[in-house]
Amino acid sequence: MKLEGMKIGLAFTGSFCTFDKIETEVKSLVEKGGDIYPIFSTNTQFTNSRFGDTGEYMKRISDITGHEPILSLEEAEPIGPKGYLDILLIAPCTGNTLAKLANGITDSPVLMAAKAHLRNSKPLVISLSTNDALGINFKNVGELFNVKNIYFVPFGQDDPVKKPNSMIAHTHLIADTLELALEGKQIQPVIL
């Protein structure tokens, strides 16, 4: 299913080193006609790192998408009752957010959006980026693989020698993953 005219929630969590890559994909999704609604986790909003000023990043994303970001639980909650998103993408998805999602915890705007969206039985796509994906979070990856309406952007090890437990999504496949998820299908191969 093409992305033209689709309302896509794009939820950012605190893998700050991945922000530039995701910004590239946001531009690409907008060029494909996607209507992007940005959502930022609380931790992203209040963390500035060597990878840049998050306030400036949020402003750029807001300008590219034409929507003010969703920054609180109250702003994210209507995604459930109003059901206005066709699909929700968490990109990048931290180990922290992945673990909470797998365990039913809803304490950030991103997790609130995910819970609200899933209640409508619509697709949620995860673009993983975490150093513990093959470590303490491996069980949570497996858990979410088996949850209805959850899909993964294909991912793999980014540095097996120096970071043997790290896995990161191939972000250039985000659009393809979304298109198939909208048809209820997981893009394959998912491990790349």
Ligand X SMILES: Cc1cc2nc3c(=O)[nH]c(=O)nc-3n(C[C@H](O)[C@H](O)[C@H](O)COP(=O)(O)O)c2cc1C
**140 touches ligand X (CB under 6 A):** no
Query: How many residues contact ligand X, by CB under 6 A?
Result: 18
Backbone CA torsion sign across 44, 48, 50, 56: positive
| DSSP H or E stretch at residue 38 | strand 35-40
User: From residue 119, how far is each of 26, 44, 81, 114, 191 by CA, in Å?
Assistant: 25, 25, 9, 9, 28
Decide whether 15 or 177 has the Cβ nearer to ligand X: 15
* CA gap 42, 87 in Å, rounded: 21
Residue 167's closest CA among 178, 182, 157, 154?
Answer: 157
Q: How far is the CB of 24 from ligand X (least distance, A)?
A: 17
**177 touches ligand X (CB under 6 A):** no
Interface map 35-74 toward ligand X (x if CB under 6 A) = ------x-xx--x-x-x-----------------------
Interface map 110-129 toward ligand X (x if CB under 6 A) = -------------------x
User: From residue 27, how far is each of 42, 64, 172 by CA, in Å?
Assistant: 23, 7, 12
Considering only the stretches 61-69, 89-97, 113-121, 142-150, report the one whose residues sit in contact with ligand X under the rule CB under 6 A: 89-97
Decide whether 38 or 95 has the Cβ nearer to ligand X: 95
DSSP H stretches of helix in 66-166: 73-76, 79-82, 95-102, 109-118, 138-145
Q: Of the candidates 15, 54, 171, 177, which one interacts with ligand X according to CB under 6 A?
A: 15
Q: How far is the CB of 184 from ligand X (least distance, A)?
A: 27
Summarize as ranges the residues that interact with ligand X (CB under 6 A). 13-17, 41, 43-44, 47, 49, 51, 94-97, 108, 129-130
